Amino acid sequence: MKQILLITDGGSNVGESPVVAAAQAYAEGIVVNVAGVVDDGAIGEQGATEIAEIARAGGGMSRIVTSRQLSGTVQMMTRKTVAATVQQAVNHELRQLFGVESVAELPPAKRAEVVRVMEDIGETAELRVALLVDASASMRSKLPSVEEAIRDLALSLKAREGESMVAVFHFPGDATDEPCVMDSDWTHGTDRLRMLTGKLKMRGTTPTGPALLHVLEFFRETCGNIMIEPVQTPSPIKRDDSVEVRSDYVV
């Protein structure tokens, strides 16, 4: 299972559309979640809309939270995406084998058995999460929260039974022709991620679309290019009505 988790305050202003880039990632089996992080003020309407549209195109979920909520939100999104991905795959098999649309349509005994299997798969399946951090100038005050979220996510994934690996990227890059920089290749060690503290330098523009495409290419090179079955809805993950507004949900 593969995810991109984008941490941003919105406002892409350079290069390709991040919505188109997220849709391309989802078409290749990579879910894109977006955590929109703010401080005390409200995020701009344009930024909030962009955050929601990126997640929708990427088959994922979006949340707009304060800096202090970021770490728990990142972990929550990762867990929910794993559960939704497993459920989507199981529902597909149920349609093929039994002609039912979901686990809820099974008899109680069979339903309980399938739920146990889903839980086991969610805990043991290989998981790769690419964290993509907006390091534009407007994110400077959120840097400590971003670094905390990276470390806490690594710790939570390390507790899973299945192999869980994290890679970290930030944008913009250090040069004008470099939309994105890889801070850490795939790793399951928290020690390596601790070394990222101090590396992120907030600067310049916000090339969110090119950065997403850069991470997508990284997935292709390291994990292969695996297409998924087309879906009929914009997103397989059920989102509540509050995903486009500021949330007080803390994990």
From first to last of its 251 residues, the chain has per-residue pLDDT tens of: 899 999 998 888 888 999 999 999 999 999 999 998 876 556 677 788 899 999 999 999 999 888 888 989 988 888 888 888 887 777 777 777 777 777 888 888 888 888 888 888 888 888 899 999 998 887 878 888 888 888 888 888 888 888 888 898 988 877 666 788 888 888 876 556 655 545 666 667 789 999 999 999 999 999 864 433 333 333 444 433 333 333 332 32
Tokens for 109, please give them: 């005994």
What count of residues does the chain have?
251
Residues paired with 166 in a beta bridge: 129, 187
Predicted pLDDT of residue 217: 94
Rounded Cα distance between 190 and 34, Å, is: 22
Residues paired with 6 in a beta bridge: 34, 132
Rounded Cα distance between 106 and 68, Å, is: 41
Rounded Cα distance between 55 and 19, Å, is: 8
Predicted pLDDT of residue 226: 42
Question: Where would I find the H helices in 142-247?
Answer: 143-158, 190-194, 208-223
Predicted pLDDT of residue 32: 95
Predicted pLDDT of residue 241: 34
* Domain coordinates in residue numbering, the chain: 2-223
Helix axis angle, 70-98 relative to 108-124, nearest 10°? 130
pTM: 0.78
Predicted pLDDT of residue 224: 64
2-223 has which CATH code?
A: 3.40.50.410
- Residues 120, 237, 90, 109, CA torsion sign: positive
